[in-house]
Amino acid sequence: MKMKCLNCHKNMKKTKFDIGYGIEVDSLHCEECGFNVTDDKVLNGALVSLKEQMAKEVKIIEIGNGIGIRFPNEIVKGMKLKRGREMIVRPEIDGLKLIPT
């Protein structure tokens, strides 16, 4: 089944889309304008395995008079974290969520 690009209405090609960390998902790609479509179920499945793969245990360490955690290298690279970058720390039912701003 051919699917038309939602952007420019040309035929789209089946391709593998790299969501990072070596995980590829099946998606449709438009060579004309570069538009990509990935099935939500496929993408969500890949994200769940990515989350499990990326989950790491970290230790709380002393930083000056306070405490903090050191991020594993994979997380630093994957999330493009940098010193001085701000994050929102939000309590959730099952832990803390860190959202780079």
By CB under 5 A, name the binding residues for Zn ion.
Answer: 5, 7-8, 30, 32-33, 35
Nearer to Zn ion, 29 or 46 (CB): 29
CB 11, min distance to Zn ion, A: 9
CB 1, min distance to Zn ion, A: 17
- The CA-based angle 47-5-44, given to 5 degrees, is 10
Maximum distance among all Cα pairs of the chain, rounded to whole angstroms: 62
Q: Residue 17: CB partners within 8 Å, gap ≥ 6?
A: 24, 25, 26, 27, 29, 36, 38
Nearer to Zn ion, 3 or 48 (CB): 3
Nearer to Zn ion, 26 or 32 (CB): 32
